[in-house]
Amino acid sequence: RFTGDYGAFTGALAPEYRAVVDVEFENLARDGANTHEMRILRPDGAARWVRTFSRVLARDDAGRPTRIVGTNQDITDLRAAGLRAEAAEARLTQAVRALPFGFVLHDAEDRLVMCNQPYLDMTPLTAAILRPGVTVETVMRHGLAAGEYPEAEGREAAWLAERLALHATGDNDFEQRREGGRWLRSITRRAPNGDTVGLRIDITEAKQLTRSLEESRRAAEAASEAKSRFLATMSHEIRTPLNGVLGMAELLSRKLSDPEHLAMLAVIRDSGRLLVSVINDVLDFSRLDAGKVTLEHAAFSPADLARQVGAVHAVAAAEKGLALTIDAAPAAGAARLGDAMRIAQVLHNLLGNAVKFTEAGAITLSVA
């Protein structure tokens, strides 16, 4: 509460504002009206902020004010709220500046509000005009003239119309090739108040990595195809003489009558067939790479197949003093549908390992 005494009024001011008020009073005397803010100290020592409105109502013959009217408005809470808002804005600005990618904010009229340094760095040919208030269309037109958008070459008008329409949606996410061979990912979202927030991320390295991986994939596919062709050629070269051996063994079996000789010939024939299956197995690996493996679907006897496989390994088992037995249940003699050659490959692997790693005793292959 102030009295009409000027000295009492200035005495209530914070010390740093007493000289300021003298200057403001001189301005009031000259201009006839004045508004300013200052900090005062209440009798209890508490500081408050007031906004003063003053007006000269009368002057003497020399022009000096003889009557002044004014009001003081307590703005302590308002000023504190303003300071908090300024602090929040400063914090937000610092956060935006610290972002490692480009950030841009436009108002509801598509005028630039703010952007950070990474955004300016990503748009070097338009950075000079990126000032608050410039419109999106103005920036795009400037960029077109400067050659910042290589993808627009030869269709500038259509490109501009497309991009403005895309920006108008407020929500978009696309990749864009820029000058110098750089690639940017552009993400835009519209806020409830109509503002649009945009992010620009440099994905040039990611694009290069993707391109490198694609080239590596194509090279691997080409190498796999070359390997498949090589294996097919080699298997043909091997199978041709091997089929001749098997054919001669078949003819020889018709001329022999001695059971022991026929048994040895059967082993030769089955071993040759095993070698053919191994060659086919090698081819299967190459086909697996290309996803071209096809399983046979033909009738065969599991019991007969097991006995044929067992006969091939019987000699090796006997040399180690091992008893090799094929125990086939009666039901196993019935025909089944499947890929006999590949099943035989599995059985050959099983029996081969059994003979290899068994030092003494017996080996039994059971077929149910």
Closest among 318, 319, 317 to 350, alpha carbons compared: 317
DSSP one-letter string for 22-87: HHHHHHHHHHSEEEEEEEEE-TTS-EEEEEEEEEEEEE-TTS-EEEEEEEEEE-HHHHHHHHHHHH
Identify the structural domains of the chain with CATH numbers, from first to last: 6-81 (3.30.450.20), 99-202 (3.30.450.20), 218-367 (3.30.565)
pLDDT range class, residue 3, cuts 50, 70, 90: low
pLDDT digits (tens, 9 = 90+) for 151-188: 898 999 999 999 999 888 888 998 988 877 889 999 99
Both tokens assigned to 11: 């005495």
Residue 88: partners with Cβ closer than 8 Å, 6 or more residues away: none
**What 3-state DSSP class applies to 361?**
coil
pLDDT band for 266, please (50, 70, 90 cuts): confident
Condensed to tens digits (0 to 9), the pLDDT of residues 328-342 reads 999 998 999 998 888
pLDDT in tens, 198-246: 999 999 988 899 889 999 999 988 887 887 778 777 776 777 787 778 7
- pLDDT at residue number 5: 64
Residues of the chain with pLDDT > 90, as a percent, come to: 38
Please check the confidence at residue 286 and state whether its pLDDT lies above 80: no
Which pLDDT does position 139 carry in this prediction? Answer: 95
**pLDDT band with cut points at 50, 70 and 90 for residue 6:** low
What are the CA-CA distances from residue 211 to residues 179, 205, 207, 217 (Å)? Answer: 19, 10, 6, 10
